[in-house]
Amino acid sequence: MERRPSLSRRALIGGLAAGAVAAAATAAPAAAKGRGRKPKKLVPGDLVVVPAPGGPSTAAAVARGTAILESWGLRVELTEHALDTFGYLSAPDADRLADLNYALAHPEAKALMTVRGGYGTTRIIDDADVEALEDHPKLVIGYSDITALHFAVADQTRIPTLHSPMTAWSSNNTDATAASLKAAIMTADPVVLTRDPAESTAGVEVPGTASGKLLGGNLSLMAAEPDRSNWPDLDGAILLVEEVEEARYRVDNMLTRIIRAGHFDGLAGIAVGQFVPHPSTSTSPASGP
């Protein structure tokens, strides 16, 4: 469920007033519970704590991301099990949960930047101490599997989060990726998502404009969320949705389930991100719409 990470390569639905959106931030509408204390922008000397609530990475990839953060003057603390490997998980559930809760409640850290996505956050999210962010606000950073954490924060608090590249720095990331991330977390400049005509989703557009809080993330993680758990109020919101290597019928099935459950009722708009094709996708008419 992890895809090429780049803030600058999200293809948006045409006509969205991107500047009016809480660009790339996931936040609950005003009616949600929680005090909603907004994290401050990071400045040199601030601490970034790094847990791995999902899949494992490598020390080399994490070192690349850590070096980038430190080059901006930030301090980085890896949690106890951030570099562990436990099959397709970074560590057993209890260890990942302990690390995540340590990071959420960290009294000094100004940001929680996950190691990577992969899989595993949904296994522990119900016991995550998300409300600790209200006492110790910090920017939660990640994408893919971390969508489950974004949704929990949006539902249980009103604290904005950032759907963006993570500490395990992918070889697909570029200097522009790093510059976009730095601007998003260390400046007050608006984070503007622009439509990239080179993306396969660029043609998915409808007339009109919309504005509202931007929520969302990975489609399969949204579809995996139980209907009564951690679904933020999407009324008047703009939904960001992306996916990687899922068959077309699976994308259709996930969207249909969410629509039938009524979660998309009242949306102001949809921002369509990258949909990386499944390797077996055929271009023949028999493959479906």
- The span from the CA of 155 to the CA of 45, in Å, is 30
pLDDT of res. 281: 58
| Mean pLDDT rounded to a whole number for the chain | 85
- Encode pLDDT of 109-145 as tens digits: 999 999 999 999 999 999 999 999 999 999 999 999 9
Q: Which of 33-42, 119-128, 162-171, 277-286 is predicted least confidently?
A: 277-286
* Cα→Cα distances 206→12, 24, 47, 276, Å: 11, 21, 42, 21
The dihedral of CA 9, 11, 12, 14: what is its sign? positive
Please report the pLDDT score of residue 279 as a whole number: 75
Mean pLDDT of 9-20: 29
Q: What is the mean pLDDT of residues 262-275?
A: 92
34: pLDDT strictly greater than 80:
no
Using the CB atoms, write b or e for 53-83: b if 16+ within 10 Å. Answer: bbbbbeeebbebbbebbeebebbbbbbebbb
pLDDT band at 8 (very low <50, low <70, confident <90, very high): very low
What's the whole-model pTM score? 0.84
- What value does the mean pLDDT take over residues 45-73? 98
pLDDT of residue 36: 55
Q: Which has more confidence, 237 or 7?
A: 237
Q: pLDDT at position 203, please?
A: 86
Q: Tell me, what's the pLDDT at 168?
A: 98
Confidence of residue 265 (pLDDT cuts 50, 70, 90): very high
Compute the distance between CA of residue 249 and CA of residue 66 in angstroms, rounded to an integer: 39
Q: Looking at the chain, list the stretches that DSSP marks H as alpha helix, in order from N- to C-terminal side.
A: 59-71, 93-104, 121-124, 132-135, 147-156, 175-186, 219-224, 248-260
Residue 94 CB: number of other CB atoms within 10 A? 11
pLDDT at 55: 97
DSSP code at position 216: E
Cα separation of 201 and 5, whole Å?
A: 16
How much is the pLDDT for 41?
A: 95
Tokens of 108: 């000094």
Q: How far is CA 226 from CA 2, 41, 208, 230, in A?
A: 21, 33, 32, 8
* Residue (of 152, 139, 270) closest to 212 by Cα position: 270
Out of 17-26, 110-119, 191-200, 241-250, the most confident range is 110-119
| Least confident interval from 41-55, 100-114, 166-180, 183-197 | 183-197
pLDDT given at position 1: 42
